[in-house]
Structure 1
Amino acid sequence: MQPRLKDVAELAGVSIKTVSNVVNGYQFVKQETRTRVEQAIAELNYRPNLTARNLRQGRSGVIALAVPDLDIPYFAELATNVITAADRHGWTVLIDQTQGERAKERLVVAGIRAHLIDGLLFSPLALTAADLAARDDRTPLVLLGERIGRERTPYDHVGIDNVSAALQGTAHLAALGRRRIAAIGARRAASGATARLRLRGYRKALAGAGLAEDPTLVSHVEAFHRADGARAMAALLDSGASPDAVFCFNDTLALGALRTLLSRGVRVPDDIALFGFDDIEDGRFSTPSLSTIAPDRQGIAQTAVDLLAERLSAAVPERAPQEVCASHELIARESTLGR
Structure 2
Amino acid sequence: MLVPHPSMLLAPQKTIENAMDNVVVEKIINFDCMPNQPNIPSEFIWPDHEKPCLTPPELKVPPIDIKGFLSGDSQAMSSVCEKVNEACKKHGFFLVVNHGVDMKLLDQAHQLIDDFFTMQLSEKQKAQRKLGEHCGYANSFIGRFSSKLPWKETLSFHYSADKSSRTVENYFVNVMGEDFRHFGNVYQEYCEIMSNLSLGIMELLGMSLGVGREYFRDFFERNESVMRLNYYPPCHKPELALGTGPHCDPTSLTILHQDQVEGLQVYVEDRWYSISPKEDAFVVNIGDTFMALSNGIYKSCMHRAVVNNKVARKSLAFFLCPNRDKVVTPPKDLITKENPRTYPDFTWPSLLEFTQKHYRSDTRTLDAFSRWLQEKKN
Asked which structure has the greater RCO (Cα within 8 Å, sep 6+), the reply is 2
Q: Which has the larger radius of gyration?
A: 1
Structure with a larger share of its residues in strand: 2
Structure with a larger share of its residues in helix: 1
TM-score range, shorter chain: under 0.3
**TM-score using structure 1 length:** 0.24
